[in-house]
A = this chain, B = another copy of it.
Amino acid sequence: MSSADKEFVKEIARRDEDPSQWYVDVIRKAELADYTPVRGCMAIRPYGYAIWELMQAGLDRRIKETGHQNAYFPVFIPESLLQKEADHVEGFAPEVAWVTHGGNEELTERLVVRPTSEAIICAMYAKWIQSYRDLPVLINQWANVVRWEKVTRPFLRTTEFLWQEGHTAHRTSEEAQEEVMRMLEVYRDFVENDMAIPVVPGRKTEREKFAGAHATYSIEALMQDGKALQAGTSHNLAQHFARVFDITFLDEDGQLKYVYQTSWGVTTRLVGALILVHGDDRGLKLPPRIAPIQVVIVPIAPKKARETVLAKASELEARLRNAGFRVHLDDREEYSPGYKYNHWELRGVPLRLEIGPRDIENNQVVLVRRDNGEKLFAGIDGLEEALPGVLDAIQRDMLAAARKFLDENSRPAADMAEMEKIITEKRGFVYAWWCGDEACELEVKERMSATIRNIPLDQQAARQKAPAAAKCVHCGKPAAEVAVFARAY
């Protein structure tokens, strides 16, 4: 163990020894977020928020390219509105924050701080939608939401979190289902290609679907500790909300009809997924596409060469910034290069650029990849042309490494004994046949705290990871579908 390593062990817990402490250490030492005096609520610090802003930009672009527009609805929802849809209120009422007073007066009707916005948005859609010409309505909202959670962890489960929630209305059931699938694919594309996190898209079971939905679809990711994390959901609401909120339109045939609706969302918990999928004992590892700093320049200068090296480093910083890279020059005098290496590795900066007097003589720089520690030399002259290839390779290799881990930790289970052995000893995704009976699903949950994450859309691929015999993992009866079981965040 080098001295730099030793220094680090002091700073953050080892991931294999104390994964919970490691997770919190990374968040606090990398200055992603901090605890606050408000129970279950975190403050997202500038570096963590810059990651979220890049995630927002990648998602917002995709959401707009698929024809949606942003809007904003009230943070408060009157109790009577929340109560209209029976399943919805049952699902959310136990976990909302209640506003009972405004100024010095008690309210005649209590308000909830939105846990999700179906109710208030449906109330508005009932006013706005009159004719088939008004359809589809394709609206997204970036907002804060509040769910009164009993146990919280920064990013993964917080009382308040940030998210986007799409809410659409359509003329036909088919159009709504197409929308649900389109947005699930947008999420898959974003999470895999921008965040370098491979996912399994699939359908949630009846038990696990969104409160008030006809069907829920999710993308499920696997953390390095073997636990699953739901990374995004897309709901087909059918006409459930339209009927109770009376959202009707006059169709071309002169008939008054209820709309079909969808909703879909991803949240700041994705930042938690980033840490848990890519992080290591040295801290965070960021894929270049969502890294606030893609390249950090560390000048390595003995005292007498300091001015020359700093001048060259500044020149490089300006050149790279002009070329569109997110670059930072760490020119602090009070810290050694070794300290700076640790500092930026902890923060997950994908590429370190070292430059010293010898490098300048040789007209080159040293590049060190955060993902695999690889050291490269690059000429100073063509640096702008060389960097995109290096950053792309990091992005690609990080996805490949995470996919390899996902594949190696996806195992078949033919019966409950096999399932239990995997879940307790190895965790990961367990591919098993399921008859569709809720009793079998519950039995697995009660015995080993594993749930059906989803029923993969790509059943052909799922079958290849499942046992050959199509028999339910619990009851042994013939089963038509393969489900993915796991313990989850």
**Interface residue ranges, A against B (CB under 8 Å):** 34, 36-38, 41-46, 48-50, 52-53, 69-78, 81, 94-104, 111, 113, 120, 123-124, 127-128, 133, 139, 143-144, 146, 148, 159-160, 162, 334
Contact = CB atoms under 8 A, between A and B. Distances in A.
A75 B36 contact: no
Given A75-B146, A98-B99, A124 B46 contact: no
Instruction: Tell me which of A53, A76, A77 has the highest count of chain B C-beta atoms within 10 A of its own C-beta.
Output: A76
Contacts of A120: 36-38, 43
Contacts of A146: 75-76
Count this chain's copies in the assembly.
2
A148 B102 CA distance: 6
26 contacts: A34-B124, A34-B128, A36-B123, A37-B81, A37-B120, A37-B123, A38-B76, A38-B77, A38-B111, A41-B75, A41-B76, A42-B74, A43-B120, A46-B69, A46-B70, A49-B72, A53-B70, A74-B160, A75-B75, A75-B113, A75-B160, A96-B102, A96-B103, A98-B100, A102-B148, A144-B144
A18 to B, nearest CB: 23
Contacts of A72: 43-44, 49, 52, 162
Contact of A148 (B36, B103, B128, B148): B103
Given A36-B123, A37-B123, 10 more contacts: A34-B128, A43-B71, A44-B72, A46-B139, A49-B70, A50-B70, A53-B70, A72-B162, A75-B144, A76-B97
A74 B123 contact: no
Nearest to A143: B144
A108 B82 CA distance: 25
Contact of A46 (B71, B95, B111): B71
Contacts of A52: 72
Instruction: Tell me which of A42, A52, A98, A139 has the highest count of chain B C-beta atoms within 10 A of its own C-beta.
Output: A98
Contacts of A37: 78, 81, 120, 123
B38 A78 contact: yes
A362 B262 CA distance: 48
A115 to B, nearest CB: 11
Given A98-B100, A99-B98, A103-B148, A36 B73 contact: yes
A74 B111 contact: no
A50 B76 CA distance: 22
A43 B122 CA distance: 12
A100 B112 CA distance: 11
Nearest to A68: B46
A110 to B, nearest CB: 8
A46 B68 CA distance: 9
Given A36-B123, A38-B111, A101-B98, A160 B76 contact: yes
A100 B101 contact: yes
A36 B124 contact: yes
Contacts of A334: 133
Contacts of A124: 34, 36, 43
Contacts of A78: 37-38
A120 B38 CA distance: 9
A131 to B, nearest CB: 11
B98 A102 contact: yes
Nearest to A95: B103
**Shortest 6 CB-CB distances between A and B: which pairs?**
A46-B69, A41-B74, A98-B101, A102-B148, A44-B72, A103-B148
